[in-house]
Amino acid sequence: MKIAVFGLGYVGSTTAGCLASQGHHIVGIDVSESKVLDFQAGIPPVLEPGLDELLAAARDKGLLQGSTVVDGLLDDADVALVCVGTPSAIDGSHNLSHIAEVTRQIAVGVRRNRSNRLTVAYRSTIRPGTIDGLIAPIFRSILGENFGDLIELVYNPEFLRESSAIADFFNPPKIVIGTVDGLPSPAMDRMHEGIQAQTFHVGYRESELTKFVDNSWHAVKIAFANEIGRICQQLDISAAKVHEIFVSDTKLNISAYYTRPGGAFGGSCLPKDVRALQHISSDVGANTHLLDAVLRTNEAHKHYQFDNIVRNLAPGAKVLLLGLAFKANTDDLRESPNVDMARRLITAGFDVSIYDSGLDATKLIGQNLGYAYSQLPKIGELLIDKDEAEAGEFDLVVAANGLQRGLTLRSSNVVDVSTIP
């Protein structure tokens, strides 16, 4: 394939070198003449281990070409990869001026009588909606409403870490291909031949958000690890040994558990242990701001979910809450977000009924009993049985912990707050 790479920084140079090593003819385009001259000579414009060997080998095979302008270089290209920078603007957003300018250059430089579409794939990190709201309109303004006959727009985020970028290119954690209809792109599939990784074919916006989610999660992990490290140091505990124990648990700690968007956390362990660790941190002067925010963001999530489900609900509407315990098939109500949901619904004036197959108000004891009645003094009057739940006519059914499965409900207005699809 002939592949044009726009932007010869870390991502562009590494991507170009790796693709050239697979036999693709690479055209590197950058506004910096010095970068272009180095690239053509097989000299990496950036420092990345192993890149000098890849580019030197590609130069010897005649697979590298460089330019500061498009100037007809796209006429026989199969793919154009946009790898230009998106630095922070003053307000914290991404500065997309380079994206807009390169898009304009490609639109102007594409030949109108191409026999096949040019696949233009963006690898730079861009805000969700950028393809639809910025990039596509630029192509449309220059090439007309039918620009899709000449251009296939793709978003293909990169997952390259500096200093290990070549290994990451050939062994990525995943491949994400965003297209207008969420279907595969033949050109991108061809470009990724020989690379084994789980591939996701999705729409533009899902693919655009992916890099933000990944990088923010990595930042959270680092900040969390450092906060725990500060606590350990203040208490003369081995942070390295605590970390060794923590990462050994791949069933829960390093896994997909607890990272699926859905309901707020609750129960007898998480809230109290977070509070206790916050107190320990404050007591020893560790200043753990991330930990301090955990309970606040959990409360914010409860507010958000409540506001979201009652937004269009008429005053006094009949509401059925399925599940009061924080987990199905238990009777543990301690700090259950579902108890909080019930309390909010009642306080707002809605006619609330609750069904929970694992709950008998007469059998609540100890702290469980105290918490339940402190939050819902009339809990015994709110609970209904399965027959009443299935036969009743409700304006809204709030599914809180999976109990809707196995029920035959008359109401079709069911909102599952245990998951965010």
Catalytic residue IDs:
269
- Asked if residue 261 lies in contact with residue 419, where contact means CB atoms within 8 angstroms, the answer is yes
Query: In this structure, is the dihedral angle defined by the CA atoms of residues 88, 94, 95 and 101, taken in order, positive or negative?
Result: positive
Question: Are 25 and 1 in contact, with CB atoms under 8 Å apart?
Answer: yes
Distances (CA, A) of 205 to 134, 176, 211, 380: 13, 11, 11, 46
Q: How many CA atoms lie within 13 A of 275 on its CB side?
A: 8
Compute φ and ψ for 87, nearest 5 degrees: -70, 165
Q: DSSP letters of 191-213? A: HTTT--S-EEEEEHHHHHHHHHH
Residue pair 226/242 in contact by the 8 Å Cβ criterion: no
The C-alpha atoms of residue 288 and residue 231 are separated, in whole angstroms, by 8
CA-nearest of 30, 67, 24 to 195 is 24
Secondary structure of residue 65 in the 3-state scheme: strand
Structure tokens at 161: 């870490």
Distances (CA, A) of 324 to 327, 361, 406: 8, 11, 17
Question: Which SS3 state, helix, strand or coil, does residue 289 take?
Answer: helix
In DSSP notation, 303-320 reads HHHHHHHHTTPPTT-EEE
| Greatest distance between any 2 Cα atoms in the chain | 82
d(Cα 187, Cα 78) in Å, to the nearest integer? 7
For 82, residues 6+ apart whose C-beta sits below 8 A from its C-beta are 6, 7, 99, 102, 103, 106, 120, 121, 122, 123, 124
* Separation of alpha carbons 333 and 330, rounded Å: 9
